[in-house]
Amino acid sequence: MLRIGNASGFYGDRFAAFREMLEQGPLDVLTGDYLAELTMLILARDRMKDPGLGYARTFLRQAEESLALALERGVRIVVNAGGLNPARLAAALAELADRQGLSARIAHVTGDDLLPRAAEFGRTDLLAANAYLGAGGIAACLTAGADVVVTGRVTDAALVVGPAMAHYGWGQGDLDALAGAVVAGHVLECGAQATGGNYAFFREHDITRPGFPIAEVYADGSSVITKHPGTGGAVTVETVTAQLLYETGGPRYLGPDVTARLDTVTLAEDGPDRVRIGGVRGEAPPATLKVGLNRLGGFRNEVVFVLTGLDIEAKADLVERQLTAELTDPPAEVRWTLVRTDRADADTEETASALLRLTVRDRDERRVGRAVTTAAVELALSGYPGFHVTAPPGPGSPYGVFESVAVDAKSVEHTAVLPDGTRLPIDAPAVTATTPDEAPELPALPRPLPEVPTRRAPLGLVVGARSGDKGGDANLGVWARSDAGWRWLAHTLTTDLLRELLPEAAELTLERHLLPNLRAVNFTLAGLLGEGVAAQARFDPQAKALGEWLRSRYVDIPEVLL
């Protein structure tokens, strides 16, 4: 059994978690996931200012206080904190080890940076272009004796799959084992989201300070998800289900090492704070790798007007007309959003107030900067009664655009740089799927519940949900809490009903996938997020709360479920 812990789910996660995971109990490997679509843009802008940057500097500070402890306890570290500059981070770690008098074998993985191939992608304005590498480079580094492995853009699950490959000697043909490790890696990748964080039924557990997750991975690829004893939060079938649904789509979960069949996953309680994952089937991976492209899309600005008391809509109309008249050269995109946070006969001024948000975007910074802020400020004494804004208007700020393309995996020079400096090429999988996007046979729907009395109530009383972003698309997973609930959910929550409950999705292309083993339906809402999180095209740009909005909507629910 190989114990793999996670201490970071994103760049900015709990700083102390790295040290705590080493101190709180035994581990064989400690991973940290620092990269996301938005993070790559942040790191690209860092690199523009200083070519020696481009990595997650937080990890270097964590290593300063934790590297000695990891070496003392024999815990190997695998992180993707290298971002756009894994070689520089590896060198900085070697310098740190020398300063502390430590003997650390440090390796890194490279080859994901495809920015020199920008013209191939039809763009000359890219800030970053990175292929999502698999786990082979990590495995090679660990097999060569590395204590620390730093990567750039690999798949999040690769941080778990790589150590398991090295430990058990799996090859490219061990598809079921690899798929099981991918599922375990997906559960771990977002840190405390597997132990009660962002969990729909959070009131059932103490998540004041949840611990971080651990996967006990076995030779056949099965695993047990748990956490260190005495740490906060909870590991249950439902917390693991929630994370499995996060940022996934259909039954086939494509990856560079294997395609994991999410419709084969089984979950079972294995004791307090222990959930066993088994049954995972794997198929050959696609012949291509996903490449994330980041570029600047233009500039944006935002002003939020506070409207208090009576005549809210008339006040909103007045300020919109006044400001529109002042913008003689208006930005390319102007959006007004009235958020009715006000209440009638309110006993505080804040609860008597609504917010009117003005968002502007343009390729020309001048059109969203002083021209907008000056026009807004000049209305202060000539506008609606009670005029004020939530913050002083500022200059425009750049926004990013993320998109993805596919390239032949064999055209990417995936390389493991071993502790002694040897550069070891990592071969792409020899056997790949010819139709990786072909949907598997649809599972049969469960028997519907018989006709029973219903009551109109919030959907979230009987189902959980977890949502997130994939580029410009949103993912929304919904699961039932019982077999009876699944029989109702599978027949009730159709794409048509979802359009009614979430009017923002009414005109979008929606996909619905059934995952009976998880008692879940998983939706993809194409284009809900525009050009991705960095473009901030929506109030909730990463769709983090989309599931909670759905759970708050009223539907007719069988009383037997309530």
How would you write 156-224 as a 3-class SS string? CCHHHHHHHHHHHCCCCCCHHHHHHHHHHHHHHCCHHHHCCCCCCCHHHCCCCCECCEEEEECCCCCEE
pLDDT at 31 over 90: yes
Which one, of 326, 320, 388, lies nearest residue 359 by Cα? Answer: 320
Q: What is the pLDDT of residue 72?
A: 98
pLDDT at 471 over 90: no
Per the DSSP assignment, residues forming a β-bridge with 557 are 455
Q: What is the pLDDT of residue 242?
A: 98
Q: Is the dihedral of CA 490, 491, 495, 500 positive or negative?
A: negative
pLDDT at 438 over 70: no
Half-sphere exposure of 110 (CA within 13 A, CB side): 16
Q: What is the C-alpha to C-alpha distance for residues 350 and 214, in angstroms, rounded to an integer?
A: 44
Q: What is the pLDDT of residue 153?
A: 98
pLDDT tens track for 357-368: 999 999 999 999
- The structure tokens 């440090």 sit at 106
In CATH, 298-401 is 3.40.190.10 = no
Per the DSSP assignment, residues forming a β-bridge with 253 are 260
- Delimit the CATH 3.30.70.380 region(s) of the chain: 298-401
Averaged pLDDT of the chain: 95
Q: What is the pLDDT of residue 143?
A: 98
pLDDT at 497 over 90: yes
pLDDT at 439 over 70: no
Q: What is the pLDDT of residue 538?
A: 78
The 281-283 sheet, strands edge to edge: 252-253, 259-261, 281-283
- The structure tokens 């997750």 sit at 213
* Residue 70 neighbours by CB distance under 10 Å: 23
Q: What is the pLDDT of residue 341?
A: 94
* Residue 364 neighbours by CB distance under 10 Å: 14
Q: What is the pLDDT of residue 38?
A: 84
- CB burial of 194-208 (b: ≥16 within 10 Å; e: otherwise) equals bbbbbbbeeeebebe
Model confidence band, residue 443 (pLDDT cutoffs 50, 70, 90): confident
3-state helix, strand, coil in the chain (%, to 5): 30, 25, 40
- CB burial of 386-424 (b: ≥16 within 10 Å; e: otherwise) equals ebebeeebeebeebbbbbebebebeebebbbbbbeeeeb
Q: What is the pLDDT of residue 229?
A: 97
Model confidence band, residue 540 (pLDDT cutoffs 50, 70, 90): confident
Angle at the Cα of 337 (from 320 to 353), degrees rounded to 5? Answer: 85
Contacts of 57 (CB under 8 A, 6+ apart): none
Q: Is the dihedral of CA 179, 184, 188, 193 positive or negative?
A: positive
Residue pair 233/242 in contact by the 8 Å Cβ criterion: no
Q: What is the pLDDT of residue 267?
A: 98
Angle of helix 175-188 relative to helix 237-245, nearest 10 degrees, comes to 100
Rounded mean pLDDT of 339-358? 96
Tokens of 466: 């977890």
pLDDT tens track for 262-273: 999 999 999 999
Which of 394 and 209 is assigned the larger pLDDT? 209
Angle of helix 158-168 relative to helix 136-143, nearest 10 degrees, comes to 40
Q: What is the pLDDT of residue 437?
A: 59
Q: What is the C-alpha to C-alpha distance for residues 301 and 519, in angstroms, rounded to an integer?
A: 43
Q: What is the DSSP letter of 39?
A: H
Three-class SS string for 354-371? Answer: EEEEEEEEECCHHHHCHH
Q: What is the pLDDT of residue 218?
A: 98
pLDDT tens track for 232-251: 999 999 999 999 999 998 89
End-to-end CA distance of the chain: 41
Radius of gyration of the chain from Cα atoms? Answer: 25
pLDDT at 435 over 80: no
- The structure tokens 């651990």 sit at 214
Half-sphere exposure of 286 (CA within 13 A, CB side): 16
- The structure tokens 């481009």 sit at 54
Angle at the Cα of 358 (from 355 to 363), degrees rounded to 5? Answer: 160
Per the DSSP assignment, residues forming a β-bridge with 417 are 108, 423
